[in-house]
């Protein structure tokens, strides 16, 4: 199947001579599916003067970024880097380096990002074996095992840990063990999980894992943390054909990140790496347990407040992400006008549904710096005002009270 070009011929622009003014963005509370809020320390780090990308001081910074990323991914993998490009570059690199023409690849699909992985597998000439689950539910480990039982061994099993389009957290450990027994590589999209919920690359037998900087790491978009096991590196070495992408060819990128080599491949996005180092330092200072606990607590309080407004959780119980809170809109609640009012009147961004879920759900991100009690309470009180004005709510304080109960452990709050 070949997509026909959708590019329309462009009109020529007139060229007005007035100068273009400085860009000053309005303050925004970013509670959507990413980007998340960025700590001032990260912004400050990014404003530092440039070093050359082969300057010994910069090479030291790269080594530190690698060390901090290994801690976060919970891995001893030598190959742990920050790839140039957003989370999608991480996804693309993770597939194009492993999938050769004819390779069978099992892809779990229960939302937008799993579907995107299957598309890339096809573009590599691989054979995607799609294991689908309804949006909002996990891909059952048993279904994956059965599919492999029917199809025979696959080179790669690819799953999305945190499906940002639905708010579902996919269980991974069991499939990791299964992949190891079968000799398949286990590939995991951790874009909306890394830094927001537990992810243990080594213990869960993950061979290829990528993320993005603008979700739970609270850095601007532009880098994709990526880690490869030795088995994954061996698979790259054993390729019969060169990787279809030159820019994302990890065997070439490896020579820039390998401490003994550091040879030029492409210029590293210097300022982005300054920012990532600082974001990772913030995470290290907070501690993973405390950070995951913060994400969980704020998510529980938000969901309690939204529930009191009549917005029910969309994702399957027991598999709800703390970083991306998806709720179903009752028929009387209009999606777009409320989100527009939130943005224009309150400066708050939340996300709508993607694809078939457009107009049906909201996606509220509490990722990294965005996951704060004060932000949860701000959003709930703005929603209360909007709902009161539209007569969807009769009693002010309903959502805030439910959130306060959640924060105080359910008791001791007097009405």
Ligand X SMILES: *Cc1c(COP(=O)(O)O)cnc(C)c1O
Burial class (CB in 10 A: 0-12, 13-18, 19+), 397: middle
108 contacts: CB under 8 Å, gap ≥ 6: 114, 131, 133, 139, 144, 157, 158, 159, 160, 170
Q: Applying CB under 6 A, which part among 87-95, 101-109, 228-236, 383-391 lies near ligand X?
A: 87-95
Residue nearer to ligand X on the CB measure, 299 or 398: 299
Pairing of strands 127-132, 156-160: unpaired
Tokens 């009690």 found at: 373
In whole angstroms, what is the distance from residue 216 CA to residue 206 CA?
Answer: 20
Among 91, 144, 156, 158, binds ligand X (CB under 6 A): 91
Does position 326 interact with ligand X (CB under 6 A)? The reply is no
Q: Report the residue count for the chain.
A: 415
The pair phi, psi for residue 24, each rounded to 5°, is -125, 100
Does position 208 interact with ligand X (CB under 6 A)? The reply is no
x/- mask, ligand X, residues 110-149, rule CB under 6 A, reads ---x------------------------------------
Does position 189 interact with ligand X (CB under 6 A)? The reply is yes
The DSSP secondary-structure symbol of 48 reads S
Residue nearer to ligand X on the CB measure, 91 or 311: 91
Does position 323 interact with ligand X (CB under 6 A)? The reply is no
Among 32, 87, 176, 322, binds ligand X (CB under 6 A): 87
In whole angstroms, what is the distance from residue 195 CA to residue 201 CA?
Answer: 13
DSSP 188-254: EE-TTTTTTS---TTTTT-SEEE--TTSTT-S-S-EEEEEE-HHHHHHHHT-SS--S-STT-HHHHH
Distance of closest approach, residue 236 Cβ to ligand X, in angstroms: 21
Distance of closest approach, residue 137 Cβ to ligand X, in angstroms: 16
Distance of closest approach, residue 171 Cβ to ligand X, in angstroms: 16
Distance of closest approach, residue 3 Cβ to ligand X, in angstroms: 20
Q: Applying CB under 6 A, which part among 6-14, 83-91, 283-291, 386-394 lies near ligand X?
A: 83-91
Number of residues that bind ligand X (CB under 6 A): 14
Distance of closest approach, residue 214 Cβ to ligand X, in angstroms: 6
């Amino acid at each position: 199947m070949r997509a026909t070009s959708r590019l329309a011929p462009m009109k020529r622009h007139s060229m007005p001579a007035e100068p273009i003014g400085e860009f000053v963005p309005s303050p925004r509370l970013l509670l959507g599916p990413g980007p998340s809020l960025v700590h001032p320390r990260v912004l400050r780090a990014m404003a530092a003067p440039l070093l050359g990308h082969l300057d010994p001081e910069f090479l030291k910074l790269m080594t530190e970024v690698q060390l901090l990323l290994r801690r976060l991914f919970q891995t001893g993998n030598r190959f742990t880097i920050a790839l140039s490009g957003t989370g999608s570059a991480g996804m693309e690199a993770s597939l194009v380096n492993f999938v050769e023409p004819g390779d069978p690849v099992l892809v779990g699909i229960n939302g937008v990002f799993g579907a995107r992985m299957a598309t890339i597998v096809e573009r590599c000439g691989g054979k995607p074996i799609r294991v689908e689950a309804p949006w909002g539910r996990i891909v059952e480990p048993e279904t994956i095992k059965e599919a492999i039982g029917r199809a025979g061994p696959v080179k790669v099993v690819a799953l999305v840990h945190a499906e940002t389009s639905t708010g579902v957290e996919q269980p991974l450990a069991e499939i990791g063990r299964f992949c190891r027994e079968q000799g398949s590589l286990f590939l995991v999209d951790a874009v909306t999980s890394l830094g927001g919920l537990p992810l243990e690359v080594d213990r869960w037998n993950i061979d290829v894992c990528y993320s993005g900087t603008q979700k739970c790491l609270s850095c601007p978009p532009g880098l994709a943390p990526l880690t490869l096991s030795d088995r994954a590196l061996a698979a790259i070495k054993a390729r019969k054909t060169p990787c279809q992408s030159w820019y994302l060819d990890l065997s070439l990128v490896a020579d820039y990140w390998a401490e003994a080599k550091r040879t030029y491949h492409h210029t590293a996005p210097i300022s982005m790496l300054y920012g990532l180092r600082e974001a990772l330092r913030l995470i290290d200072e907070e501690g993973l347990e405390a950070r995951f606990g913060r994400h969980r607590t704020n998510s529980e309080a938000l969901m309690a407040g939204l529930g009191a407004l009549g917005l029910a959780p969309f994702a399957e119980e027991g598999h709800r992400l703390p970083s991306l809170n998806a709720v179903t809109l009752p028929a009387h609640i209009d999606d777009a006008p409320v989100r527009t009012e939130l943005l224009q009147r309150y400066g708050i961004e939340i996300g709508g549904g993607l694809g078939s879920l457009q107009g049906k759900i909201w996606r509220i991100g509490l990722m990294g710096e965005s996951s704060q009690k004060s932000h949860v309470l701000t959003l709930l009180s703005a929603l209360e005002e909007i709902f009161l004005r539209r007569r969807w709510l009769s009693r002010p304080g309903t959502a805030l009270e439910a959130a306060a109960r959640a924060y105080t452990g359910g008791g001791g709050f007097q009405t």
